[in-house]
Structure 1
Amino acid sequence: MTCTEIVSRLKDLVLSGAAITGAVVAVQGLGTWQRQLKGQSEYELSRRILVTVFKYRDAINGVRHPAMWAYEMPSPPEDEAAKMSPEQMRFYGTSKAYQARWDKVQIERTSLYADLLEAEAIWGVELKELFKKVFDLEHELFTRIRHYIELINPDTAEASKEAIRNIDKKARDIMYDDLSDEPDEYKKDLVSAIEKIEKYLKPKLSHENV
């Protein structure tokens, strides 16, 4: 083998080695980038869910607030009001106020829905199971408010009202927050359920994952 051939062979080996090294570095860099991207995505998802669940909690607390202000209770349109009794007009204002309060709960619940689907695809069903308790508490309150609205509706048949009263006898009284320093039973249950969600999500907010 001539000197020229040896130099050419060494050149080929050096170039091959450089190509292999470059490929290894590229693969390692891609893996790091993918891990960073995954960590950032999970961080953002966790943050969104936590922020929304806190808004959702506050909306539920708002429904239970015992004070109902005048600005919350609209008057019916004049053409409808002319046909209403005083009891029907009071019912109109109260029912609209509770509807507006509950709309805030539903806005946050809807926001949670898409993020929880994404969370289930990434992390499995554990978070979904943790939210089940919160959603059960929401449904319990919704049922209690719906029954109250039916009971104060002057147009609800007395037989229907009696049936509702019999159902409510077996349920706990959760409609109003007593606003005391010590949370009532319902609020304790809600706080406990949300704390479990926080405990699951907050480790995913660690900067080590980003």
Structure 2
Amino acid sequence: MMEGISEAISALGQFLMAGAAIAGAVAAFMGLDRWKNQTVWQGDRDLARKLLVSLYLRKNAVKAVRNPFGFEGEGGPIAADTPEDEKNWKATLKKYQFRLGKLEEVKSEIFALEAEAKAIWGNEIEEFSRQVWNREHELAVEIYEYINAQHPRYRGSDYFEDKEARKSNSLQVFGGSSQDPFWPKYDAACINLETYLRTKLGRKQ
């Protein structure tokens, strides 16, 4: 009788030990899974934070491009042999080359981050990013038109079809009024991208 009880206790002990081992393995697996999820979440968060900071720098660079004011020599000195009637135009050209160059520096950093984000998160970020890039391209075209219109060859004539076209170009390039046709659309595109990135931070705006 005692022998049977002893065997039963021994079997129960082995069963409990086996159960404890299984429970420990499950707990370890769940802990590893939580660690993996935490690592993925932290990686997403860090990448999203970098992209958000870059987006703010990008918007500031666009604001700088559109600033109607400048300073003498912005963009660097003009060549000494520049014809007198081209000096103002050259100064305008170099000013916008300098400003757009600063914007491109920011965008080149963003391009690398977005390539990483696309590889991890999929193509969704590209949809939001393209909206911002398209608006910036539209601005660059308007600036190109504005610079061309300043060239001495158009003195005494009008590069644009009419005064309304000139005014529209000026508003696109400089803004600065309630009639600004560029900034509300650009800002909306940036907000769409920002809202998407905030979902990767673990919280929405």
TM-score by shorter chain over 0.5: yes
Answer with 83-92 or 45-54: which moved more: 83-92
The answer (yes or no) to whether the contact 1:61–1:177 under 8 Å persists in 2 is no
CA distance in 1, matches of 2:180, 2:122: 33
* C-alpha distance in structure 2 between counterparts of 1:148 and 1:15, whole Å: 81
Q: Which residue of 2 aligns with 1:198?
A: 194
Spell out the pairing of 1:92-131 with structure 2 (5 A cutoff): 92-131=90-129
Q: Secondary structure at the match of 2:70?
A: coil
CA drift at 1:94: 2.2
Q: In the alignment, which residue of structure 1 is the partner of 2:15?
A: 13
User: Structure 1, unaligned stretches of length 5 or more?
Assistant: none
Q: Is residue 75–residue 98 contact of structure 2 (8 Å, CA) maintained in 1?
A: no
Indicate the SS of the match to 1:99. helix
Please give the root-mean-square deviation of Cα atoms over the aligned residues, in Å: 3.1
1:141 matched to 2:143: no
Aligned to 1:31: 33
CA distance in 2, matches of 1:200, 1:108: 20
Kindly indicate whether structure 1 or structure 2 has the higher relative contact order, using CA contacts under 8 Å at least 6 residues apart.
1
Task: Describe the superposition over 1:39-73 as per-residue Cα deviations: whole angstroms up to 9, x where unpaired.
Answer: 11111121111111111111111111111211415
Work out whether residues 47 and 205 of structure 1, in 8 Å CA contact, stay in contact via their aligned partners in 2: yes
**How many percent of aligned residue pairs carry the same amino acid?**
30
Asked if 1:65 corresponds to 2:67, the answer is: yes
> Counterpart amino acid of 1:110?
S
Secondary structure of the residue aligned to 1:40 is helix
Structure 2 CA distance for aligned equivalents of residues 207 and 200 of structure 1: 10
Residue 61 of structure 1 aligns with an amino acid whose one-letter code is: K
Q: 1:106: Cα distance to partner?
A: 0.7
1:41 aligns with 2:37: no
Question: TM (normalized to structure 1)?
Answer: 0.78
Q: Which moved more, 1:122-131 or 1:34-43?
A: 122-131
Q: How many residues align?
A: 196
Q: 1:170 to 1:85 in 2, by over 3 A?
A: closer
- The alpha-carbon deviation at position 98 of structure 1 amounts to 0.9
* Gap regions ≥5 residues in structure 2: none
